[in-house]
Amino acid sequence: MKRYLFIISRTPYGSTHALEQLEAAMVAAVFDGRVAILCRDQGVWNLQGNQDGAPQGQKTVSRVLAALPTYDIEELYVCADSLSSQQIQPDASLDIKPLTFVEQQSLIAASDVVITAQP
């Protein structure tokens, strides 16, 4: 089974990148991939609760994140430094594990496929 890592580094509603990555992660999981998601940089904003994508004409990202366990995606990580610097309080209902830079490097190295949406 391949290990997929999706790195989300963009805000939830400035573009469709975060939502597209989450949807791609769900597809990978459906096809028996082992999927992990790492939010870092501006991507930590995806982890906030009480979001509403409707004013932007988009799905609400926090609802998509809450559905990840349905797809057997239970590895949801966040860059501890990004979380601290952005002063974000993640949605308490999400099971999120903060990672140091070194832990992120290990996660990337252990993944067979790494997918990002960098500018």
Query: 3-state SS of the chain: helix, strand, coil percent to 5?
Result: 40, 25, 35
List, in order of start, the domains of the chain with CATH numbers.
3-116 (3.40.1260.10)
* Percent of the chain scoring above 70 in pLDDT: 98
Reported pTM: 0.91
Residues 11-53 have pLDDT tens digits of 888 888 999 999 999 999 999 889 999 999 999 999 988 887 7
> C-alpha dihedral over 28, 34, 37, 38, to 10 degrees?
-140
DSSP for 93-110 reads TS-EEEE-HHHHHHHHHT
The single-letter code of the amino acid at 60 is: T
